[in-house]
Amino acid sequence: MDISRRKFLQIGAVASGSVVCAGVKPASARDLREPNPEWLGMLNDTTRCIGCKACQVACKKENKLPMESTLNESANVGRDVYDAPRGLSERTYTLIKMQQDEENGKTTFVKTQCMHCSEPACASACIVGALKKQENGAVAYDSGLCMGCRYCMVACPFNVPQFEWQNAIPSIKKCTLCRETKLKEGKPTACSSVCPAGAISFGKRSDLIKLARKRIEKDPELYQDHIYGEKEVGGTGVLYLARPKMQFASLGLPAFKYRTVAGLTESIQHRIFQYFIPPIAVYSVLGGIMYRNQSRKKNGGEEGGSHE
Amino acid sequence: MNKAAPLQHNFFTPNVWLLIFFMGSGAVFAFFRFFYGFGSITNLNAAYPFGIWIAFDVACGVALAAGGFTTAAIVEIFGRDKYHALVRPAILTAFIGYFLVGLAVFFDLGKYYNIWHALVYWNGTSVLFEVAWCVMLYLTVLGIENIPAVVEQFKGKVNLPGQMASFNKPSEWLLGKADNILNRTMAFFVIAGVVLSFGHQSSLGTMMLIAPYKLHDLWYTPLSPLLFLTSAVSVGLPMVIFEASLATVLFKRKPETELLADIAKYIPLFLGTYLLLRIGDLAYRGVLAQAFDGSVQGNSFLVEFALFAVPYFMLKRRKIRRDALKLFLCAFSVILGVVLNRFNVFLIGMDMGPEFNYFPSVGEFAVTFAFLAFGVFLYRLGVNYLPILEEQ
């Protein structure tokens, strides 16, 4: 055959080279978008939480979520009981967890729920755009659009989206920021409005950051000088304050970097499909090779032109 | 060059009944999945939303269908006509593979009836969006690439019995038309098939990069798309060799050792490229040491690497390539390497914290085996009634 081994390698190198250049550029290529100051969110002050779980109950009531019986309480008590599941689930959008600091051994109550990220990884991952960041700052889920692929669960660094494993037709479930119920009426979220300790503040994200700063400045003994979620994973709508020396990681809030989670995948996707240049380039290169080979075959005559 | 012809063996052999048994048991578990939810049969949980159905049926399924585009590229694009006998079986296998990937996705989607949403509701930032489109388009292309075999078998011979006879003429017309059009346009589809394969073999490698805090350093690399692509290219020919060897034994055909040994010379070229990229990437990112830390992930990586490296050195030697058994074992090793690599990226390398664990349930295995059995069943159906394998 007429393509030498060297040619074959050359062509291969060009083809794969173009794919490489197109696909694998540093992740830093994508700029961080500034969080919108108008977005609504919540500030969870872990120094104030008393672990009463009123927020958990309010959330269940607001969202009409069924009760969970992890310890068979319903069988023992004769009715369902609001209990304490170990983690978020399709029936529990928010949960108070007691966390222990690895270094000083102190325990703290920490509220978990959807963080309503500024650049949600779930929304970036969703194949049909069923998860979207809303104007008001909530990351909303549209069960009618959803295909149930669960890629959002893979993408979320906080493991928030939950799947209805027991339903024949399952949906994704997570905190809605009371978007359809409370926010619509201009009211704060259910969990924040019932907190007896003032541990959950609701408001505009920009105001919450100001509030958090003020608390830190006013009482530097009580707080450490870090607002979790201000910058982590590109910023989140739910922010946290903690006592000094308390590692956020030990509060179940991992030490995530400041860049967005989906930065790498998005820049790779973007580059592979930028104006469709890479696929078209590969197509043309392959087309050229094929054309050359076929015309040589023709010129070489019917008998044996195609054999090495 | 020999002509391809249907085998026309007796179809329902004991082996086929075994396949039907596997398909049946998978269907029983599938019933529960569709009517009683994933929880009724799978071990999937909040931290492991993707289980064996995605890791094996989809990720490995796509990779192992790479025989289709690699042989098509070598023979049709790079003009190595002497391997022509390998193209049709490879294209048929790829078509079956992708068909099953589509089916597996359908099983794994919570709202399977919304599967068409991928066509209508676009989210360009999603890696899955690209995977879905490439799979759909490539499945179509593979379907088209298989039409010539159908045309060859039935053109001029359509003879439907009884009432159906009125369809004879339209069918003939359709076959003639397809033959005519495809003769002129096949080149377009062949290249499109290769480009689409490039596209989504690589984007499957992008998929888990959305989880930087979950995927282990040994696999979380910006080079992942290229690694997935090159490993898929590397496993293309081993799959062809694997299937041809099995077909020789199971269909009692004359061994094609000469041809297979000859085409196997390309494998070290592809494998070498892959291994070079893999090692280079690990060294560049400075995570090579993690492979030797004795963790499950580290050990899993070492096994994965060995499964690629051993056949690389073996297949460089002509003598080993000419030994049917050793060639088969080398091919099998590469296949296992790719399978383990996909498992590592999608399951073993994904760490969600100490609270969660995942091991596939009996039901999940049963469904996966059913897919495998269905694939073999379809292949058998194809080669038995269509001109796929060459006459001997």
pLDDT at residue A192 greater than cutoff 50: yes
At A197, the pLDDT band (50, 70, 90 cuts) reads very high
At A68, the pLDDT band (50, 70, 90 cuts) reads confident
**Tokens 């490439």 identify what position?**
B134
Residue B105: half-sphere exposure toward Cβ, Cα within 13 Å: 24
- How many degrees, rounded to 5, is the angle at CA A167 between CA A161 and CA A172? 20
Q: Is B160 helix (H, G, I), strand (E, B) or coil?
A: coil
Q: Which two tokens stand for residue B291?
A: 């492979």
Q: Note whether B111 contacts A1, CB cutoff 8 Å.
A: no
**Tokens 């992930």 identify what position?**
B297
Residues of A in Cβ contact (< 8 Å) with B49: 150-151, 153-154, 163
Give the C-alpha separation, A260 to A262, whole Å. 6
Q: What is the pLDDT of residue A301?
A: 55
Which residues contact residue B103 at a Cβ distance below 8 angstroms, ignoring those fewer than 6 apart? B371, B374
Q: What is the pLDDT of residue B356?
A: 80
Q: Note whether B80 contacts A1, CB cutoff 8 Å.
A: yes
Give the C-alpha separation, A32 to B89, whole Å. 49
Mean pLDDT of A34-61: 93
Q: What is the pLDDT of residue A32?
A: 58
pLDDT at residue A24 greater than cutoff 60: no
Residues of A in Cβ contact (< 8 Å) with B212: 157, 257, 261, 264
Structural element, H or E, at residue B113: none
Mean pLDDT of B228-242: 95
Q: What is the pLDDT of residue A22?
A: 46
Q: Which two tokens stand for residue B174?
A: 């359709």
Handedness of CA A238, B129, B232, B52 (dihedral sign): positive
Q: What is the pLDDT of residue A72?
A: 65
Give the C-alpha separation, A115 to A256, whole Å. 13
Nearest to B347 by CA among B43, B8, B127, B67: B43
Q: Note whether A166 contacts B208, CB cutoff 8 Å.
A: no
Give the C-alpha separation, A122 to A156, whole Å. 6
Q: Which two tokens stand for residue B60?
A: 């490995």
Q: Is B306 helix (H, G, I), strand (E, B) or coil?
A: helix
Q: Is A215 helix (H, G, I), strand (E, B) or coil?
A: helix
Smallest Cβ–Cβ distance between A269 and the set B34, B109, B125 belongs to B125
Residues of A in Cβ contact (< 8 Å) with B127: 125, 265, 269
Query: What's B233's DSSP letter?
Result: H
Query: How does pLDDT run across A210-246, given as a tens digit for each residue?
Result: 999 999 999 999 999 999 999 999 999 999 999 998 8
Question: What are phi and psi for residue A203, nearest 5 degrees?
Answer: 165, -170
Question: For chain B, what is the mean pLDDT?
Answer: 91
Q: What is the pLDDT of residue A227?
A: 96
- To probe the interface with A, which of B41, B188, B210 has the most A CB atoms within 10 Å? B210
Q: What is the pLDDT of residue B281?
A: 95
- Determine contact, residues A94/A116, Cβ cutoff 8 Å: no
- To probe the interface with B, which of A269, A271, A296, A303 has the most B CB atoms within 10 Å? A269
Question: Closest-CA residue in chain B for A291?
Answer: B77
Smallest Cβ–Cβ distance between A148 and the set B111, B192, B210 belongs to B111
Mean pLDDT of B208-215: 93
Query: What's B265's DSSP letter?
Result: G
Mean pLDDT of A142-154: 95
Question: What are phi and psi for residue A130, nearest 5 degrees?
Answer: -75, -20
Q: Note whether A269 contacts B122, CB cutoff 8 Å.
A: no
Mode of pairing for the β-strands spanning A40-45 and A238-241: parallel
Q: Note whether B209 contacts A264, CB cutoff 8 Å.
A: yes
Beta strand extents in A86-192 (DSSP E only): 95-100, 107-112, 131-133, 139-141, 162-163, 172-173
Q: What is the pLDDT of residue A2?
A: 44
Give the C-alpha separation, B201 to B168, whole Å. 41
Q: Which residues pair with A132 in a beta bridge?
A: A140
ipTM: 0.90
Query: How does pLDDT run across A69-122, given as a tens digit for each residue?
Result: 766 666 666 666 666 787 899 999 999 999 998 888 889 999 999 999 999 999
Structural element, H or E, at residue A45: strand A40-45
Q: What is the pLDDT of residue A31?
A: 52
Structural element, H or E, at residue B184: helix B168-207
pLDDT at residue B161 greater than cutoff 70: yes
